[in-house]
Amino acid sequence: MRRCNQSRYFKLWVLLLTLMVSSYSAQASLFDKLGGSDGPLDVDDAYHFSAVESSPGIYRLSWDIEDDYYLYRDKIKVKPSEKVEVVGSTYSDSEEKDDPLFGKVQVYYKQANVDLQLKSLQPGAVDETLKIEYQGCWDGGICYPPVTKEIVVKQVPATLISVVESAPTGSDNSSLSLTDQRQFINALSSGNLLLTLGLFFVAGLALSLTPCVFPMVPILAGVIAGQKGCTSKRAFWLSVVYVLAMSVTYTVAGIIAGLFGENLQAAFQNPWIISSFSLLFVVFSGAMFGFYQFEMPVSVQNRLNRMSRSQQGGDLAGVAMMGFLSALIVGPCVAAPLAGALIFIGQTGDPLLGGSALFVLSLGMGLPLILIGTTAGKLMPKAGAWMNTVKAIFGVVMLLMAVWMLDRIVPATVTMVLLGVILVVSAIYLRALDSLSDSAHGLQRLGKGVGILLLIYGGSLLVGAAGGNQSVVYPLKGVIGSGTAGAATQQLPTFTKVTSYNALEPLLAASKKQNRPVLLDFYADWCVSCKELEFYTFADKAVQQQMDRFTLVKVDVTANDQAAKDLYKRYKIVGPPALVFYDQGGALLNEKMLVGVPTPQEFVNHLKKIDS
């Protein structure tokens, strides 16, 4: 009887123990699902990811985030694809968090949305699998490793549709992170021809204020100054011919670059061609000084007369040739609208629309030249000493243009010496060292004042060159008031220079290993805007603070050889200046590429969006 009772008690204890264990296991499982102290949720339970297509090429990425979890905004990335590129992205509003791992960062709680605008890299609509990467943390003190999800995008179009009409509800179209060249591609793809051409004309007017167009002003004015008895009407037609020749050249060169990937402007930046064009300016200056005159051979004049052409026709042909050469040699600048048109031509194979945009862009660039040329003809003295004085001034300007051209292929010290000599000699001719009599009139006194200024600046250039400085803007910086010569150049960020992808690849691998983003600066000695980018944007202190986070690489494409062309093709670059970025994980950020010269503040804001 006692053994039976003991057996019954034993079975009862086993049953109670089993019930306790089962109850504890159920509670622990429930506690884990609620994110209790036993550990965080599984990453897929903490972040519920989805991707929804709202219209062709427009997708919304969404994350429903559990309580006590957050998602890093800058860790949301779309991996590069061979068939599809991201041309625009809109992020929902985030909030700032003082993160123990990354410091002050932008994060999402509860909900995160990213709207993507996609475009096919191949003709026609395509299907593709995109990889989406993101990373988040639990407030309990644990961070997840980066997560990669795959989404299948269907029938992504090869041309962009209107973002304003097709973006998902609730997206902020004003915050689309499209670079300027992408916006011009969108404009070309919109289908509104008049609006597109008007946009490119306005862009051309804006480009007329850049250093790319400034050198064309003295060329055109010098051509007009060299004409005999040039009336306002005559000056107008000379200016129109010059601008039309320049516009046609830009258009043809642009279409060739877009269709075949051959940059004619870059090809014309050969040292021999630049030297010849510089010598041509010297020859022009000699004619301005009256050392000789340009006249067509009598046999040619007679032939023109027999063909019912006048000497005026010959002059117009010469002006057209100057417009042609100016477009190819003087102003080889790549700006956002130009790059946008060339990329559009290359991707769609539509030279008619792209060429029309380039032609209108060039007309916008040339309109101020027509106004300046016409005004120069109206104000030009008719005869006498005034004409000789004006022509002598343009002679000096032509010499300065020759030096400006040579600056692309000679050391900066040589440029400083040549400029210094020209300015000092000009100052002497303006009687900067002569004493003025009491009866001297106002223009003589003004001339002497200008001569003194030229003498001071020219002398500073010579002293700076002798002291080892290489800055035309700050010739005495580092020579006077400092024991280190050339200190001006030390204020710019330090780049590692490469000329081929083989030299670039190890730098990219090392930066990825160090978890550092990369900035590639496509540069050429003959690129005017590249130097503007250096001394205007890169010299800014706020810009340099942001650039300290990056591995800085200067991709030198001065030679325009096969290695340079391969780099153009790999990165879809039209020409310098262009800024290309890699993120910390070594992924190429195609949608972040910048073309042209951004202002310091614009560049700071752009850099903050890259792995900040």
325 and 231 share a domain?
Answer: yes
Strands 551-556 and 518-523: parallel
Please check whether residue 453 lies inside any domain of the structure: no
523 and 588 share a domain?
Answer: yes
**Among residues 405, 432, 449, which one ends one of the domains?**
405
CATH number of the structural domain spanning residue 128:
2.60.40.1250
Q: Is 224 within 8 Å of 230 (Cβ atoms)?
A: yes
The pair of three-digit structure tokens given for residue 3, joined into one six-digit string: 């053994």
Please check whether residue 6 lies inside any domain of the structure: no
Give the strand order in the sheet containing 95-99: 95-99, 103-108, 69-72, 136-138, 142-143
Q: Is 535 within 8 Å of 608 (Cβ atoms)?
A: no
518 and 387 share a domain?
Answer: no
Return the pLDDT at 263: 61
Q: SS3 of 442, please?
A: helix
Q: What angle do CA 341, 345, 346 make, to 5 degrees?
A: 115
List the one residue out of 133, 147, 23 whose CA is nearest residue 80: 133
163 and 199 share a domain?
Answer: no
245 and 331 share a domain?
Answer: yes
Cα–Cα distance measured from residue 482 to residue 476, given in angstroms and rounded to the nearest whole number: 10
Please check whether residue 4 lies inside any domain of the structure: no
Return the pLDDT at 23: 45
Return the pLDDT at 139: 82
DSSP 328: I
392: which strand partners? none
Please check whether residue 525 lies inside any domain of the structure: yes
325 and 240 share a domain?
Answer: yes
Query: Consecutive 10-residue runs of the chain (612 residues): their mean pLDDT?
Result: 51 52 44 50 88 81 90 88 83 82 82 87 81 88 86 78 38 38 61 74 76 71 64 80 84 72 63 78 74 55 43 60 72 61 61 78 83 68 57 78 80 87 86 77 79 88 83 73 46 87 90 90 83 84 90 89 84 82 84 81 86 60
DSSP 93: P
261 and 354 share a domain?
Answer: yes
- Helices vs. strands in the chain: H and E counts, helices first: 21, 17
Cα–Cα distance measured from residue 87 to residue 192, given in angstroms and rounded to the nearest whole number: 20
Please check whether residue 14 lies inside any domain of the structure: no
Q: Is 535 within 8 Å of 543 (Cβ atoms)?
A: no
Return the pLDDT at 593: 83
Q: Is 284 within 8 Å of 188 (Cβ atoms)?
A: no
List the one residue out of 152, 528, 119 whose CA is nearest residue 347: 119
Cα–Cα distance measured from residue 464 to residue 575, given in angstroms and rounded to the nearest whole number: 33
List the one residue out of 547, 523, 552, 574 whose CA is nearest residue 181: 574
Please check whether residue 464 lies inside any domain of the structure: no
Cα–Cα distance measured from residue 420 to residue 463, given in angstroms and rounded to the nearest whole number: 9
Return the pLDDT at 493: 86
Phi, psi at residue 437, to the nearest 5°? -80, 165
**Among residues 361, 385, 405, which one ends one of the domains?**
405
Q: SS3 of 378, please?
A: helix
Return the pLDDT at 227: 62
252 and 313 share a domain?
Answer: yes
The total of structural domains in the chain comes to 3
Residues 6 or more apart whose CB falls under 8 angstroms from that of 475 comprise: 416, 457, 460, 461, 463, 464, 465, 469
Residues 6 or more apart whose CB falls under 8 angstroms from that of 131 comprise: 78, 79, 148, 149, 150
Return the pLDDT at 59: 87
The residue range of the domain holding 599 is 500-608
57 and 204 share a domain?
Answer: no
Please check whether residue 33 lies inside any domain of the structure: no
Please check whether residue 564 lies inside any domain of the structure: yes
Cα–Cα distance measured from residue 51 to residue 113, given in angstroms and rounded to the nearest whole number: 10
201 and 158 share a domain?
Answer: no
Return the pLDDT at 228: 59
166 and 212 share a domain?
Answer: no
